[in-house]
Amino acid sequence: MDAPESLQPVCGQEALDLLNCTTESPYDKEKCQKLLETLRQCVINKKVKKFSLSDPRIGKPEGSNEKRS
């Protein structure tokens, strides 16, 4: 079940699609470029000024240690 649109970050799906594209192997530069353009249009249309991640664990590589020494 998808969350209601009002609870999703503005342009969040477009940003997630682009980020996931960069992790694919083999890397498809043309596909990622199209996704970048889609994200760019979204932020222009929705007047997004800045993105932020609320969970500091988001984006950490698999197997990374959560503790920092």
State how far the Cα of 31 lies from the Cα of 47, in Å rounded to an integer: 24
Contacts of 21 (CB under 8 A, 6+ apart): 28, 31, 32, 35
How confident is the model over 12-59, as pLDDT tens digits? Answer: 999 999 999 999 999 999 999 999 999 999 999 999 888 887 765 555
How confident is the model over 43-53, as pLDDT tens digits? Answer: 999 998 888 87
Q: What does the angle CA 43 – CA 12 – CA 50 come to, to the nearest 5 degrees?
A: 50
CA 57 to chain centre: 14
pLDDT-derived band of residue 62, with 50, 70 and 90 as boundaries? low
List helix spans (H) across 1-69: 12-23, 29-46
